[in-house]
Amino acid sequence: MNHHRIGVIGLGQRIAHVLSAMKEVGWFLEVAGYVDPSPVGLPILSQAGIDPGRAYGDAAELLADGPFDLVMIGSPNHLHFEHLNLAFAAGYPIFAEKPIVRTVEESYALAATLAKAATPPLFIGLVMRSMPIVREVIARADSGELGDLISMDATEHLGPEHGAYLARNWRRRQQWGGSFMLDKVCHDFDIFGRIARGRAAQVASFGGRGIFTAARADEPRTYEDGSPAYGVTNPGWMGANDAFQSDMDVDDHQTAIVRYDSGLAVSFHSNSHVSLQERRWYIAGTRGTLLADLVRNKLMIRPALDRRKPERFDFATRTSDNHNGADQAMAIDLLAALAGERPFPVTPRDSLEAGLTVMAMDESAATGRMVDCAPMWAAFDAASQAGGQMTAPSPA
Ligand SMILES: NC(=O)c1ccc[n+]([C@@H]2O[C@H](COP(=O)([O-])OP(=O)(O)OC[C@H]3O[C@@H](n4cnc5c(N)ncnc54)[C@H](O)[C@@H]3O)[C@@H](O)[C@H]2O)c1
């Protein structure tokens, strides 16, 4: 196994978990150092027995201290664009967390950079692509056994602690996180675009803040057994003390409908304060139906004209982070991609398209209008082909 010298920009909880998974699956890794003003991932690394290396003053100082076999970017979303560009200039392979960038403008600019320059290999942490259950969903959709994909409904519902963490962490502010949907749901829409084999054509969405508000600050703060609620996880960089009385300006629930240009119609429901957690995809095709339960890691599929018991898969692995072994699977994929053995399961372009799809939902929620995505894709394609800087189309 090759030794990998790694530099980290943004040593938060996520990169620490990914590094731990890399070690767990057998990477021979050395973290040379990191850049982070308040590295919230340090205790996770220490628990995994990984030395974080040297603390560098800024990204330029770290990147000048190469060579690196991998630069890992796990900073808050608003910094991805800047950190990616710095890492491109340094020229080492990059693993960057999702969402690849935070805004439409950054998406076009990054598409242009990727088109015009010989950039180093770039792997985006859309980790669901590596999950065995998701691979099965994609394979079944591709096999044709579901027929034409007609309609689908999907959910992502988070428990109160997770919602409260989002309301206290930097994700609560648009300027850092982008939006609730961008940070949480770009994973799902990456997969939906992949199985639809198309792009979102029209999008409508409603979002709002009705849970983590000052008006609900006096609601009970304990669970039925007396244990404290809403404040368990360290909120980290720019964290707020109280989930109900922070300066949050992102939504805490959102619904959306999307029609893909390939014909698939999707409805999506997301909430950040539920007692019955769910991440579920129900796909109805002309010849069959598939139901994937991503929390319980179970899948069910049956042809339309078959009354026998459905085919059922239990992917067995369940972990409390709901990633259900995906981090380890992604760590194996990353090692294979770096070694040139096989392509990484998701491309930067896929990642940009997933982000733009979710941003169109946010535009609809903000304007109260259905968004025709054609101008957005035209601008994206122009940027991707010409390598020129494009501006965002004004809302329809
Ligand atoms: N793929 C997934 O499933 C998944 C899961 C969680 C988070 N993420 C993504 O990972 C990224 C990090 O999220 P997280 O949960 O680890 O958040 P976090 O708050 O735990 O970590 C973010 C880190 O960035 C650091 N930081 C702030 N400013 C910085 C700067 N100028 N330079 C370098 N570092 C800086 C913070 O101090 C913090 O340690 C986000 O983009 C998030 O969307 C992905």
- The whole-number pLDDT of residue 389 equals 44
Ramachandran assignment for 230, one of left (phi > 0), alpha (psi -120 to 50 degrees), beta (any other):
left
Q: Is the pLDDT of residue 292 over 50?
A: yes
* DSSP class of 77: G
State which of 8, 9, 14 you would mutate to test the pocket of ligand 1, scoring each by most atoms of that ligand within 8 A of its C-beta: 14
Q: How many domains does the chain contain in total?
A: 1
Q: Does residue 142 fall inside a structural domain?
A: yes
Catalogue the long-range contacts made by 361-365 (C-beta closer than 8 Å, 24 or more residues apart): 361/181, 361/203, 361/205, 361/254, 361/256, 361/258, 362/178, 362/179, 362/181, 362/182, 362/205, 362/207, 363/203, 363/395, 364/203, 364/204, 364/205, 364/256, 365/205, 365/206, 365/207, 365/251, 365/254, 365/256
Q: Which pair of tokens denotes residue 56?
A: 């560098």
Mean pLDDT of 303-317: 93
Q: Does residue 195 fall inside a structural domain?
A: yes
- Domain with residue 218: its CATH number is 3.30.360.10
Contacts of 339 (CB under 8 A, 6+ apart): 2
d(C-alpha 87, C-alpha 6), whole Å = 12
What is the pLDDT of the chain when averaged over all its residues? 95
Q: Does residue 394 fall inside a structural domain?
A: no
Report CA(151)–ligand 1 centroid distance (Å): 34
Range of the domain at 171: 129-322
Question: What string of DSSP letters covers 171-195?
Answer: GGSHHHH--HHHHHHHHHHHHHHHH
- Cα–Cα separations (whole angstroms), residue 29 to 4, 7, 45, 56: 5, 11, 12, 19
State which of 36, 180, 234 you would mutate to test the pocket of ligand 1, scoring each by most atoms of that ligand within 8 A of its C-beta: 36
Q: Does residue 224 fall inside a structural domain?
A: yes
Q: Does residue 115 fall inside a structural domain?
A: no
Report CA(99)–ligand 1 centroid distance (Å): 11
d(C-alpha 334, C-alpha 235), whole Å = 28
Nearest alpha carbon to residue 5 among 84, 121, 93: 93
Which of the four pLDDT bands, split at 50, 70 and 90, describes residue 316? confident
Nearest alpha carbon to residue 74 among 87, 61, 64: 87
Ligand 1 neighbours (beta carbon < 6 A): 9-14, 35-41, 74-77, 79, 97-98, 125, 127, 169-170, 183, 236-237
Partnered with residue 123 across adjacent β-strands are: 95
Q: Does residue 333 fall inside a structural domain?
A: no
Q: Does residue 108 fall inside a structural domain?
A: no
Ligand 1 atom index nearest CA of 34? 33
Q: Is the pLDDT of residue 393 over 50?
A: no
- The whole-number pLDDT of residue 318 equals 61
Ligand 1 atom index nearest CA of 11? 39
- The whole-number pLDDT of residue 213 equals 97
Q: Does residue 341 fall inside a structural domain?
A: no
- Residue-wise pLDDT for 194-248, tens only, equals 999 999 999 999 999 999 999 999 999 999 999 999 988 889 999 999 999 999 9
Report CA(284)–ligand 1 centroid distance (Å): 36
- The whole-number pLDDT of residue 2 equals 83
Four-residue CA torsion sign, 109, 113, 114, 116: positive
76 and 170 Cβ atoms separated by less than 8 Å: yes
Both ends of the chain: CA-CA distance in Å?
A: 53
- Residue-wise pLDDT for 88-131, tens only, equals 999 999 999 999 999 999 999 999 999 987 899 999 999 999 99
